[in-house]
Amino acid sequence: MVELSYVDLVIAAGLVLVLALLSIRLHSNISKQLVIAAVRTAVQLTLIGLVLKTLFANASLGWVTLLAFVMLLIAGREVMMRQERRFRGWWGYAAGTLSMFLSSFAITLFALIVILGEDPWYAPQYAIPLLGMLLGNTMSGIAIAMDRLTHAAWEQRDIIEARLMLGERGDAAISDYRRQAVRSGMIPIINAMAAAGVVSLPGMMTGQILAGAPPVEAVKYQILIMFLIAAGTGLGTLVAVSIGSKRLFDERQRLCLDRLRQP
């Protein structure tokens, strides 16, 4: 595998800097966000590289579990921050975090124990990358779905309240928007699966090929990962939308938009 030098990374960073300068010229207002995201990428990946280096040398269930929960908690915060009208208080954080725990964690454990069968099953070189890929994609799906749900509830509040006055329960009054939210959350992974191998070569497969793995073996791993991500994103989105839909109504089936933060 070709080793990258720090000069190579600086050259790549220069491309991002050029894009930021162009965005300033075009007044697109994303230059600051782009630079911050680039700095975060470099710092966070460097730190996790050092952590994984230590973790690989001292693999234990306790340390792997601790890192996994830290990743989950950070992902829960990212889900909350990406929503324009998120739930107030702990609900805004708990809905996404709980959904990812029930989906990504469960599916990662299933894959490690049943499919991969590595000994020990919590081997960090498998557990952490696998959980990271599932959390990252599930996080995006849940964030999109929850944002779509709360936005639709706010924009269509008159229609929802009219249906409630006609005698429908909350879950029936919001059912159309709930289906739309789930569909929105699933679109990215469906598009990725549909285009895999035809339009794009997925990241894990490309990385393994660059590292010298046989292409057919890399393909098998990528198919496995895509199926796991689809299952994790779908399950997480369904759970999050279900929790959010119930939270939008009180025990008397009244629409409670005061539970949402204003943008």
Q: Are residues 43 and 124 in the same domain?
A: no
Q: Are both 93 and 9 inside the same structural domain?
A: no
Give Cβ neighbours of residue 196 (< 8 Å, ≥ 6 apart): 202, 222, 226
Residues 134 and 107 sit within 8 Å (Cβ to Cβ): yes
For residue 184, is pLDDT > 90? yes
pLDDT of residue 1: 61
Q: Are residues 94 and 155 in the same domain?
A: yes
Please indicate, yes or no, whether residues 10 and 105 belong to a single structural domain of this protein: no
User: 187 and 81: one domain?
Assistant: yes
Q: Residues 27-42: what's their mean pLDDT?
A: 85
User: What is the predicted pLDDT for the residue at 62?
Assistant: 87
Which amino acid is it at 24? I
| Euclidean distance between CA atoms 198 and 163, whole angstroms | 45
pLDDT tens for each residue of 1-24: 667 788 888 999 999 989 888 888
The most confident of 77-81, 176-180, 197-201, 215-219, by mean pLDDT: 176-180
Residues 187, 84 share a domain: yes
Query: Which among 133, 110, 158, 152 is positioned nearest to 244, based on CA atoms?
Result: 152
Rounded Cα gap, residues 234 and 137, in angstroms: 10
Residue numbers of the domain that contains 46: 1-58
Which DSSP letter does residue 89 get? T
- Backbone φ/ψ region at 117: left (φ over 0), alpha (ψ -120 to 50), beta: left
As beta bridge partners, residue 260 has: 87
Radius of gyration of the chain from Cα atoms? Answer: 21
Query: Are 234 and 155 within one domain?
Result: yes
Task: Please name which of 130, 135, 138 lies closest in space to residue 110, comparing C-alpha atoms.
Answer: 130
Q: Is pLDDT of 226 > 80?
A: yes
Q: Please determine, for residue 142, whether its predicted confidence score (pLDDT) is greater than 90.
A: yes
| Same domain membership, residue 214 and residue 106 | yes
Q: What is the pLDDT of residues 111-138, one digit of tens each?
A: 999 988 878 888 888 888 889 889 988 9
Please count the structural domains in the chain.
2
Which pLDDT belongs to residue 141? Answer: 92
Average pLDDT score, the chain: 87
Strand partners, 39: none
pLDDT at 235 over 90: yes
Q: Are residues 170 and 219 in the same domain?
A: yes
Across residues 80-103, what is the average pLDDT? 87
